[in-house]
Amino acid sequence: MAADDAIETTIGSFGKYQTWILMLITLGRYPVEFQLVNIVFIMPSVEFVCLDDGALNRTNYCPCANPKYDTNTIVSSVTTEWNLICDRTSLASLAQSIMQIGIIPGSVIFGYMSDRHGRKIASLLSLFCQVLAVAISAIVTEYWMFVVCRFVIGITVGGTIICTYVLIVELSGKSFRPYLVGLSEVSYVTGYMTLPIIAYFIRDWRTLQLVTSLPWLFVGFYYWLIPESPRWLISVGRKNEAIKILTYIAKKNKRPTNNIATIVDNVENEKPGSVIDLFKTSKIRMYTIISALVWMLCAHTYYGINQYIGNLQGNLYLNVFISAIFLIPGIVLVVIAALYFKRKKSIMASFTTVAVSLVIIAFIPGKSTTVDIAFAIIGQTGARSVFVQIYLHSCEIFPTVIRNSAMGFSSIFARIGGFVAPFVVNIGIKGVSVAIFCSLAVCAAILCCFLPETKGIVLKNTIQETEQCHARKKSDHAEKTADNTCI
């Protein structure tokens, strides 16, 4: 692909049709977003009075075989139904973390499916299976069944997050990508804001799971509404199909269609790649390893702070709602950063914000709940902004034939970070937990120095393009002006 983006040339940077697809995907992703943040409502920390002989009705006394739970906040939860307290708290941590583990095979399976068989089938299958898995989790009768369901939910979450995001990026031109970092977050932020409101009125965890899943069965009809990625079709040599889709979209966007075939014929193509291709060439291999580590540290920090907020004193529903509200200015700042600043510097600045917030939390004396919550929210906002930015950065780093595989591989490491986070929070010593999250945020910022800058580039289709582009950029390093189509 030359300096001009073939997709942007034919269908525009982001017209009415892409807006329609973005709206469908945003709407369809709500069950996923609910599952990412509902842990504090379905598996909360609970207060109880121990009714055992000799316990003297003491609060939170362990061991305890006959607890009487405080149901003023949440009437029924996974924690209370299966008594995940005292010596069973490790089972609570497992239930919290198992979804993150499920995202690992989900990212690999759906990432491979997306690169081999197309973005459309991978996105739609993950969206629909997500709804079914959440609904089934609401009717299981045993703890182990619930854990299995959480694992399956994680598999579908892994596919949905990556595949739908890549599909939208590939339908867009390079000049619109900075706005996608904000628009792609609409479902998460609004879902995060809406969930505490829903949970406030529905305080039974089973009903909450059903209400946040079954209404979305309509995503099955997306098969007839969402197109395959023309960029993917071109990259794997299915150019005739790509021409038909591009022509259809161009007509919807009221753009000329006479030169589409010629433009598409000039684009390079390559066989679909796999995870193995991430390690065959030097630069792709380096980018893969560093990106995976950055994703892991980012997820560890974000999910750790998210659960830390849920464990703070005060009104649970209000704490979560306020933390969601404060994500909005963070997303606005991310869009501004994507438009006007370099990708790496923006990501490093966000990690630094997280680290500084955590340092302040560590030195807050006693139980200054209000100040604690304020800086935890600032840290959470910074961590979430990193998540948003590294998705775009990774999409721009890797070529189309392995883009989903690369995102899936990085997501594996992100889930490892997310899996460990609840255990770090449950250490129970505020200073230790915060110090771990802070130091890892600093490490992530340092690692970002070794990734390429991608602001303003045209997405590459092939591995060869990416490697050759790097070689040209290296040879021209002394020149003031570099080719902005290279990464």
pLDDT at 108: 83
| pLDDT for position 481 | 42
Query: In Å, what is the CA distance from 384 to each residue of 299, 353, 380, 407, 452?
Result: 9, 11, 6, 17, 21
Can you give the residue ranges of every domain in the chain?
6-43+84-475
pLDDT recorded at residue 1: 37
180, 19 contact by CB (below 8 A): no
pLDDT recorded at residue 473: 53
> Does the predicted TM-score (pTM) go above 0.85?
no
- Spatial separation of the C-alpha atoms in residues 257 and 9, rounded to whole Å: 10
| pLDDT for residue 482 | 42
Q: What is the pLDDT of residues 196-210, one digit of tens each?
A: 999 999 999 999 999
pLDDT at 485: 45
Does residue 152 contact residue 160 with C-beta atoms inside 8 Å? no
Q: At which residue do the structure tokens 């990416």 appear? A: 466
Specify burial of residue 464 (Cβ count, 10 A radius: 0-12, 13-18, 19+). Answer: middle
Are the CB atoms for 196 and 320 separated by under 8 Å? yes
pLDDT at position 7 is 79
Closest by CA position to 301, among listed 387, 412, 196, 365: 387
The per-residue pLDDT for 270 is: 60
CB environment 142-151: b (16+ within 10 A), e (fewer)? ebeebbbbbb
Distance (Å, rounded) from C-alpha 382 to C-alpha 375? 10
At the top level of CATH, the class of 6-43+84-475 is: mainly alpha
Residues of the chain with pLDDT under 70: 1-4, 268-272, 309-314, 365-369, 428-430, 469-487
Amino acid in the structure at residue 396: E
DSSP annotation of 410 reads: H
Environment class of 117 (CB within 10 Å of its CB; exposed 0-12, middle 13-18, buried 19+):
middle
